[in-house]
Amino acid sequence: MFQPESLIPDFPILDQSIQGRRLVYLDNAATTQKPMAVLLASRHYYEAINANIHRGTHHLARLATETFEKARSTIASHLNASSSDEVIFTSGTTDGINLVANILSLSGRIKPGDEVLISVLEHHSNIVPWQMFCERTGAILKVIPCFEDGTLDQDAFHALLSERTKILALTWISNCFGTVNPINEMAKSARNVGALVLIDAAQVIAHSHIDVQAMDADFLVFSGHKVYAPTGIGVLWGRAEILNSLPPWRGGGEMIKEVSFEKTTYNDLPFKFEAGTPNIEGAISLAAAIDFVNDIGLKPIHGHEEFLIRYAAEALAEIPGIHFYGPSDRAGALSFNVDGIHHYDLGTLMDQMGVAVRTGHHCCQPLMARFGITGTVRASFALYNSTSDINALAEATRKAVKMLR
């Protein structure tokens, strides 16, 4: 049986009180806390390895390079990538999406009138880069609508999909509602019309197994801080044949083979897309986080978190006037409002009771507009959360509601 209480000592930040109450951290969709394995990996890098990579012959430079490239291999193995060359280090999901949007806009593949297909469930980071992309290329942005339960309208998706569709950029799990999209089926349909497919896996990486070779996607992005690693590090996975065919975006050191004032020859994958000194410590710490998760096992983590979401929905359902958003079969997050109470007021009072939740539009303003609301209260879960955390969430919500009515 999964015992999250046994993992709490691995997370020093959880051993504190807020307003005299035990901290209950339920804002994991925004960022996860860091285990000792990750904190120690970060510290060890700076204390024993710190040097720039790929450019030096001295001992520390070689050790830093070896450790950095081992981290890339760890992540490639975790994703079941066909080669570690397909793993590009970025600063996070947003950076990865922007990288893809920019290299595609520079490639000459997209013509005026071509179409980019996204969904109403997208985070702003998977909306704004494509709006900018369309402004640059003359492409047209199309949006897949959703039903009242927060699931995507598959009939509308297939109606929007055509030979004009050149890119499908889709979130796997909604950061707002926890909706799990059928990305394999949707990606296959998009590939059948010749479209490239990008998957935003920011809300998947900490909860479920990812096998990029089994997917019909061309690109997949995620952020390290969603999976117990530091902020400022992320991954873009891309099929080697696609990445090799696309031009670099940023220019500088590392992404070159030879430079003269007349001509520059670009480097091979993955370095072609990694201009400048990367976040070396971040990549090493991300690998440590991946190892930490795999040591526990994604299958038991997934089962535990599925149980927590059901338990939370049942505990909160007893509160009069509560309204949940998204399907009953959700993952990672549970969003709700209470009639007559602003989500910000509710979250503020819950914080005073030691319960950390997220309030607002969660960087999904078009989705909020679709449901006629300005935001929600969102509780989101991680492997260290327990039923006692859910009980505290329910108690804090009930008390806050009583105070605000």
Separation in Å, CA 367 to CA 28, 100, 124, 152, 361: 20, 23, 10, 12, 8
> Residue 6: how many CB atoms within 10 A of its CB?
9
Sign of the Cα torsion 59, 62, 68, 74 reads negative
> Is 146 labeled as catalytic in the residue annotation?
no
- Say how far apart CA 329 and CA 36 lie, in whole Å: 32
| 256-to-114, 265, 273 alpha-carbon distances in Å | 32, 6, 10
Please identify which of the residues 134, 176, 363, 364 carries the catalytic annotation: 363
Q: How, if at all, do strands 264-266 and 256-259 pair?
A: antiparallel
Would you state the structure tokens that stand for residue 24, as one six-digit string? 């209950």
The answer to whether the peptide bond before residue 270 is cis (omega within 30 degrees of 0) is yes
CA distance 86 to 241: 9
Strand partners, 87: 237
Pair of tokens at residue 30: 């925004």
How far apart (Å, rounded) are the C-alpha atoms in residues 120 and 369?
Answer: 10
Per DSSP, the residues of 324-335 read: EES-SS--SEEE
Using DSSP bridges, classify how beta strands 24-25 and 355-356 pair: parallel, antiparallel or unpaired: parallel
Q: Tell me the C-alpha distance between 143 and 97, whole Å.
A: 17
Bridge partners for 142 per DSSP: 117
Q: What is the dihedral of CA 186, 189, 191, 197, to 10 degrees?
A: -20
Q: Is 133 helix (H, G, I), strand (E, B) or coil?
A: helix
Q: How many helices (H) and strands (E) does the chain have?
A: 12, 17
Catalytic residues: 363
